[in-house]
Amino acid sequence: MRKYVVMGVPGSGKSTQGAMLAREYDLVQISVGDVFRWHVKNHTKIGAQVRRIMAAGELVGDDLVERIVRDRLDQHDWNYGFIIDGFPRNRRQAEFFLESYDIDGVIYLDLPDSEVRRRVLARRLCSVCGMDYNLIEDRPKRAGRCDVCGGELVTREDDTPDALAARLRDYHEKTNPVLELFRRKEFVFGVDAQHDPETVQRDIRERLGLDGHHPVRPLEEDDSARPD
């Protein structure tokens, strides 16, 4: 059984790399951000709370995040292991996670803030079906319209310049200490995330010492994960 955490700034490709690794090694991919977006899309009470927080460019509180993670992992559908991204984001969450679950490694996707801004501000979301696009590498066939349903493409509420700047500040202030905590336990495997997804994936597998017989394949069109 393999249990990994993927960490990195917004736009570093956590969901994409997690999906590629999960597919080849039968891991369950758990994206805390996707869980929150599901609640927002389905207009739950949690979703309404998260929408207000995301629109302000802030991070969701520890109690709510820990509850979401605990509820998801308590489903125990991860027979061969899991890979989780978007958590932990601060020292308290990291300590909660280490007390509750054993992990085999923390994959740290290293990306400069300048590249983060370039990637994140190019992201678009279909207002109807929720399909993700990136205007740098994943343009729709028809400008401003979803290839799947024809819905209008919009900017995520948390992808404005001001909201992104707030998220980056929070990341560096709160998440860097988490990396230091994991580094002291020798859990962290750093990877340069500026390369194409397949190269980054190969680097991850090499750093983790995973079976070299698993080829690195790009995500298929129907894969749900996109660069986070």
Active site residues: 14, 89, 123, 156, 167
Plot region of 170 (φ>0 → left; ψ -120 to 50 → alpha; else → beta): alpha
Distance separating alpha carbons of residues 157 and 171, to the nearest angstrom: 18
Give the integer Cα–Cα distance in Å for 170 and 172.
6
